[in-house]
């Protein structure tokens, strides 16, 4: 079955645990995700909430490493919540959760600064590995979500496209980053060391004028660089 964006549950390499904050108004799914995360030795659940209306206060209170955010919620939706998060913290990874392949919301979430996009029906399979992946610098996406995002992006006219001057190797690495690969997985796929991956990533960031994997993936998708 499985889509290529679902990875083995490898433990986090550089830290003992990752602290997780969940926002989802679906009680049954929220309880299920609580149990899923609590069952992982390297993941620590801080809180699971039905509304993101106090997300800024929650960030200051809980200091999460990763946020799982439902896109469709009352009071304040997930996209608006991400915008609020990015006003106070540019670096906390936010993985969006969605029931439907909603092109507009997913694309808006990219522009707002989300870090990953998981369909809820794959939650039990993908969430633990997606958290570890995003903590390692990846941008995890359910395969069908990635395809929908690409279909949403209008093809730019060639004369309007900026020449980012990426080498063939850098373009290949950027494609893997768009596919949700972590630095470790990129190194394995390209048969290069983690240090070499980091060196290529730094050059890619410089050429794209970005500062994070999320920004690089967002730009690559919006500008059809890969």
Q: Please write the tens of the pLDDT for every residue from 182-216.
A: 888 888 999 999 899 989 999 998 999 887 777 78
DSSP 179: T
172 confidence band (pLDDT: 50, 70, 90): very high
Give the span between the Cα atoms of 101 and 209, in whole angstroms: 30
Does residue 104 lie in a domain region? Answer: yes
Q: pLDDT, tens digit, for every residue of 84-140? A: 999 999 889 999 988 766 677 777 888 888 888 888 888 878 889 889 888 887 778
Query: How many folded domains does the chain comprise?
Result: 2
Helix (H, G, I), strand (E, B) or coil at 180: coil
Give the span between the Cα atoms of 74 and 26, in whole angstroms: 11
Does residue 7 lie in a domain region? Answer: no
Of the chain, the end-to-end C-alpha distance in Å amounts to 26
Q: What range defines the domain where residue 192 resides?
A: 159-222
Instruction: Tell me which H or E stretch contains 70.
Output: strand 66-70
Q: Residue 23: which of 149, 91, 114, 134 has the closest Cα?
A: 114
| 181 and 104 inside one domain | no
| 146 and 163 inside one domain | no
With the CA atoms of 217, 221, 223 and 224 taken in that order, what torsion angle do they form, in degrees rounded to the nearest 10?
Answer: 120
Q: Which two tokens stand for residue 84?
A: 């609020």
Domain boundary residue among 100, 116, 151? 151
Domain boundary residue among 102, 127, 151? 151
**pTM for this predicted structure:** 0.66
Is pLDDT larger for residue 162 or for residue 91?
91
């Amino acid at each position: 079955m499985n889509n290529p964006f679902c990875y083995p549950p490898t433990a986090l390499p550089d830290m003992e645990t990752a602290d997780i904050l969940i926002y989802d108004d679906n009680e049954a799914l929220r309880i299920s995700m609580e149990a899923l995360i609590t069952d992982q030795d390297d993941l620590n659940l801080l809180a699971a909430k039905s509304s993101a209306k106090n997300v800024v206060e929650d960030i200051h209170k809980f200091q999460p490493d990763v946020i799982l955010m439902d896109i469709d919620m009352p009071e304040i939706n997930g996209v608006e919540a991400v915008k609020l998060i990015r006003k106070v913290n540019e670096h906390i990874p936010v993985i969006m959760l969605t029931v439907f392949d909603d092109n507009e919301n997913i694309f808006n979430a990219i522009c707002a600064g989300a870090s990953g996009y998981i369909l809820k029906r794959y939650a039990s399979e993908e969430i633990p590995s997606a958290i570890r992946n995003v903590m390692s610098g990846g941008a995890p996406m359910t395969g069908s979500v990635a395809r929908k995002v690409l279909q949403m992006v209008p093809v730019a006219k060639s004369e309007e496209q900026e020449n980012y001057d990426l080498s063939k190797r850098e373009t290949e690495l950027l494609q893997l980053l768009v596919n949700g690969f972590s630095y470790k997985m990129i190194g394995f796929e390209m048969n290069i060391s983690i240090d070499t991956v980091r060196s290529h990533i730094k050059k890619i960031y410089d050429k794209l004028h970005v500062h994070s994997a999320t920004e690089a993936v967002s730009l690559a998708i919006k500008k059809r660089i890969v």
